[in-house]
Amino acid sequence: MSGQQNQSWIPEDVPLDKPNPARMYDYFLGGMHNFEVDRQAAEQVLQILPEVRLIAQANRAFLIDAVKYLANQGIDQFLDIGSGIPTRGNVHEVVQEINPESRVVYVDIDPIAVAHSRALLEGNPRATCIRADARDVEMIVNHPEVETLIDFSRPVGLLLVAVLHFIPDDEEAHGIVRQFRHRLASGSYMAISHATMEGWPPDVLERILAIYKRSTAPAKARTKDEIVRFFEGWELVEPGLVGLDEWPLSKQFKLEFSAAYVGIARKP
C-alpha cells in the first residue's frame, strides 16, 4: 500500500491528516505500507537523525532475538502488543519455524496494521491479529480470538516492543504491565524495548518528540531507572536491562548511542 493507491477501503476513523507511528516505523524499515503524511514526518525525523533507520533495524533485531530465546525456553504462545505493520521476520514466522504448534496473537490499535496483519495470516489457524488499545488489558485477554489461541493458565510470551513509550502517562503505562503480570501464569516471559531520554545528542530527542507530538500517538522517552520499574515482580534474564546498542544481536548495527533500553524477564 502506498499513498498513491486507492484509499477507498480505509476505515473512516483512520485520520489521514496525521502521521501514524506504526506507518512511520514501517517506512524506517523500508516498508511500503505508509502514506505521504507518514513519509513526510519520517523524513523530518531522518533529517534530524539519519541513524533512526539503524535504530529501527536494531529494535527489530531485538524483537526477533527475544522471540527466538522465548521459543527455545519452551514458550509456545505469544501475545504481541502494539505489533504494528507486518514486515520481514514476523513473530509467528520466527516461532513457528522453531515450533510449528506455536500460537501468536498480534494486537494493535491501528486498523491499517490490523488489516495487513489479518491478510498475511489468512490460512494460518495458529495466529491472528485483533484491534485493541494496549490500555484495555481486560478487553484483550477476554477477546474471543485471544481466548481461542491463548491459554492463560500456561506460560505466555508477552511482547511490549516499542509500545510503552507511546503511553505518555506513567501510571497508565505501568498499569498495563501490572495487569498483564497478574493475568499471566508463572513461567511467562516479557520482552520490552523502550525509548530512553539518556545519551541523545543535544536537542535531538526534543525535536523528534515534537514531530511525534503531531502524530496519532505522541511519545515519551524515559530514563533507565523509570524503565526498569516496568520489570518489578519479574526476574530479568541475562544480560539484564541494557542499551539497545549493547544487546548482543543489535551490536552489528554499530549505533552511536543507546536510543532505547531493552530487556527480557521471567515471571517467577
What residues does each domain of the chain span? 21-266
Query: Residue 7: its pLDDT value, please?
Result: 46
Burial code (b: 16+ CB inside 10 Å, e: under 16) for 231-243 equals: beebeeeeeebbb
**What's the pLDDT at 268?**
97
Which pLDDT belongs to residue 170?
A: 96
In this structure, the number of other CB atoms found within 10 A of the CB of residue 120 comes to 17
- Give strand ranges (E) for 77-123: 77-81, 103-108
Q: What is the pLDDT of residue 13?
A: 58
Dihedral angle sign, alpha carbons of residues 67, 70, 71, 76: negative
- Give 10-residue mean pLDDT values along the chain (268 residues): 40 71 93 91 97 95 96 98 87 96 96 88 95 96 97 98 96 97 98 94 93 93 97 97 92 90 98
Q: What are phi and psi of 176, to 5 degrees?
A: -60, -50
For 66-85, b/e burial (b = at least 16 CB within 10 A) is: bbbbbbeeebbbbbbbbbbb
State CA 159 to chain mean position distance.
7
- Residue-level pLDDT at 11: 53
Look at residue 107 and give its three-state secondary structure: strand
pLDDT of residue 249: 82
pLDDT for 87 equals 79
At residue 12, the pLDDT reads 57
Q: In the CATH scheme, what architecture does the domain 21-266 have? A: 3-Layer(aba) Sandwich (3.40)
Residue tagged 500460537 (cell numbers): 103
Residue 8 has what pLDDT? Answer: 40
**Alpha carbons 83 and 129: distance in angstroms, whole number:** 9
Measured distance CA(113)–CA(169) in Å, rounded? 24
Residue-level pLDDT at 14: 60
